[in-house]
Structure formats: structure tokens, C-alpha cells
Structure 1
Amino acid sequence: MSGFDTRRNDRDGDTLDVLGELSLEVGAGLTKQQLAVALKLLRLGVNPSALVAITQELRKEAQYATVEQQTNGRSYPQ
């Protein structure tokens, strides 16, 4: 690994640490792993608003699936 790669990895780690703290402070509930994926997607040019919308939709789906599991698969109308 070159010196440049090492510095970039250190910087990325620092960035994730800061983002992790920020996530906790604002109650975003994102893990460092989730933040790392989001950061990579943003660096690849993914639209930030689209990323937020997808994240919110996935959370809703996960919450619905959890509730459905807890009610033994019984689904209730919304």
C-alpha cells in the first residue's frame, strides 16, 4: 500500500468517526458501516436526496417486517 493510500484510509477513518458522532447527535441511527456505504455511494455520484429517500423507505420496510414477525405473520391493514 502506498503512502497515498495509507493517508486516504486514515482520512476516511477520521471522516467515518466524525460522521458516526454526528449520526448519534442528530439521532440518524446509522452505523459506521452504513455511513461508509453511504459515503461510497455519494462519492460515486449518487444523488443525496435519492439516497435519503431510499434509506427512509428501507427503514419503513424493515420496521414493517419486524412488526409482522412479532405478530406471527399476521398483517394488518394500513
Structure 2
Amino acid sequence: MNDVLEVLSALANIASIVRFLLDLRRFLKSKEEDKQPVDDVVQTRKEPDGNQAPQSKHRAARAPVDKGRALLMHC
């Protein structure tokens, strides 16, 4: 019976480590995406006098998230 409990405990520990590694991978991928430059998209709109004026759009800024703390609390 004790052997079975030890095996189950070891499997639970392995599952916890795998979840942590998957979360770490997801965290690192999100950091990599944040480093990519944001290109401006230039659109033109007509002014009342008929001339076209460039208008730039920017990607909305994200709120900072403390993902490191979330990973540590997961363990």
C-alpha cells in the first residue's frame, strides 16, 4: 500500500513540474511576442477640401501583467 502511495505522490510531483514547464513556455513565448516591433498602419482619409491626409493607427497598449509572480504562485 505504501508503494502505491509513493508512486502516486511521484506522479503528482511530475504532473506539477510538467504544468510549471508549460506555463514557463507560455510565459517565454509571450515575452518574445512583446519584443516584436509594432508597424504603423497608415490609412488615408479625405479632408473636407478633397485632399487626402494620412492617419496612423497604433496597436492598443497592454496593461502590464506580473507573469513571473503568477508562475511562482503556481508551484
Task: Please tell me the TM-score bracket, short chain as reference.
Answer: 0.3 to 0.5
Q: Which one has the bigger helix percentage?
A: 1
Scaled by the length of structure 2, the TM-score of the pair is 0.37
* Rg comparison, structure with higher value: 2
Relative contact order, higher structure (CA 8 A, sep 6+): 2
